[in-house]
Structure 1
Amino acid sequence: MYYINSFFLYSLLGFIIESTLFKNTILKPSGVLVGPITLVYGVGGLSLLLINKYILNKIHTNKIIKLIISFILYTIAFTLVEFTCGHLCHLIFGIDMWNYTSKKYNIGKYICLEYMPIWGLYGLTITYILKPFLDKIIKQIPREITYLFIILLSLDLIITILTK
C-alpha cells in the first residue's frame, strides 16, 4: 500500500504545484485527467522511491559523493519519466501536456536540457526535506482510503479516455 499511496500523494502534490505555481490557476486540472492528479509527478515520485530503495540505500560513501550520485540519478530518472509520460500522453490521449520545442536546448518536444538540473534538485528536495514528512502521512492512510483512491483514479481514467 505504501507505493500506491505514495503515487497518489506525489500525483496530488504535482497537481497542486502545476496548477498554482506554474499555470497561475487555483486548483484547475493541469494534467490529462479530470481529477486533481498529475500522473507524471506520481510516476516521478515512484521512481524516486525505487532509486532510493534499490540504489542509493546500498551506496555507502561520504555524504557529498552520495548527494552528487543522487542528483545525477534523479536528473536522469525524472528526465526519462518526463520523456516517457510525454510520449504516452500523446499516444494514448492525442495531446501534448508540455512542448519544449520553443526552448533552445530541447530534445524533441518532451525534454529540455535546461530543465534537467531542476529535476535533480527536485529529487534532492523531496528526499532530504519532504519525504520524511510525507512518509508519516502515507503510512497513516487507511487501506479503505487507498481502495477509494484506486476506484476514483480508475473512473477518472475511463472518463478521460471516453471524452478525449
Structure 2
Amino acid sequence: MKRYIMYLIAYSVGGFVLERIINLIFLQEWYDNSVLVGPYQPLYGNGVLLGVLFMEYVYPKIHANTVIKEGTFILVAILATALSEATTGYFFEWLTGIHLWDYGQTFTCNLEYVCLIPTSLFGIISYLVIKYLHPRFKIWLDRTPNSVFIPLLVIIIIDIVYTFYTLV
C-alpha cells in the first residue's frame, strides 16, 4: 500500500509541474490553477496510478503481439486519464460547488471534464511515464527509507483537510 501512495504522491507532483509547463506554453504565464495548497495535482497522480495498476496486474497477462499489447496499454492509459478527470471534476463540484474547468467549449468536446484531444494527450503522456520513467522510479522508491513516507502522507492529508475545510 505504501508503494502505491508514494506513486500517487510522486505522480501528483509530476502532474503539478506538467500543468505549470503547459500553462506557461499556452497562456504565456505562470498560471496556478491548483486545487490544493501544495505542489501536487492528485488528478494526474490518480490517472498514472490507475495505469500503473494495469501495467502490474493486467498487462503481463495479455498474450498478444506487441502492437496489440502496447495499443491496449495506451488505450487503458487514455481511459484511466478520462476516468480520473471525470471523477475528480464531478466529485469536487458536487462536494464544493466549484466548477474546476470546462472543456465544453473546446473542439471535439461536449463534456465539461473530459475531452477527446486533451484527455488523449494526457493519457499518452501517462503511458510514456509509466513505460519509461516508472521502472526507474520504482527502483528509487525501493531505496527510500520509510521515514520519508509518513511525513509526506501527513502533509498531503493536512492539505486535503485544509482545502476542503476552507472551501466547504
TM-score (ref. length: structure 2)? 0.87
Q: Please show how residues 98-113 of structure 1 align to structure 2 within 5 Å.
A: 98-113=101-116
Deviation at 1:70, TM superposition (A): 0.8
Deviation at 1:29, TM superposition (A): 4.7
Q: Please show how residues 1-164 of structure 1 align to structure 2 within 5 Å.
A: 1-19=2-20, 21-24=21-24, 29-164=32-167
- Match of 1:42, as an amino acid? G
Deviation at 1:93, TM superposition (A): 2.9
- Match of 1:23, as an amino acid? N
1:46–1:96 Cα change, 3 Å: same
CA distance in 1, matches of 2:12, 2:119: 20
Contact 1:107-1:113 at 8 Å conserved across structures: no
User: What are the superposed Cα offsets for residues 59-106 of structure 1, whole Å, 9 maximum, x if unpaired?
Assistant: 122211111111111111211111111111212233233210111322
- Match of 1:8, as an amino acid? I
- Match of 2:12, as an amino acid? S
After the TM superposition, which of the residue ranges 144-153 and 91-100 deviates more from structure 2?
91-100
Q: Percent same amino acid at aligned positions?
A: 27
- Match of 2:9, as an amino acid? F
TM-score (ref. length: structure 1)? 0.89
User: What are the superposed Cα offsets for residues 96-125 of structure 1, whole Å, 9 maximum, x if unpaired?
Assistant: 332101113223210112224313422321
Residue 161 of structure 2 aligns to a residue in which SS? Answer: helix
CA distance in 2, matches of 1:102, 1:144: 46
Size of the aligned set, in residue pairs, is 162
- Match of 1:3, as an amino acid? Y
How well do the aligned residues superpose, as a CA RMSD in angstroms?
Answer: 1.8
CA distance in 2, matches of 1:45, 1:123: 6
After the TM superposition, which of the residue ranges 2-11 and 132-141 deviates more from structure 2?
132-141
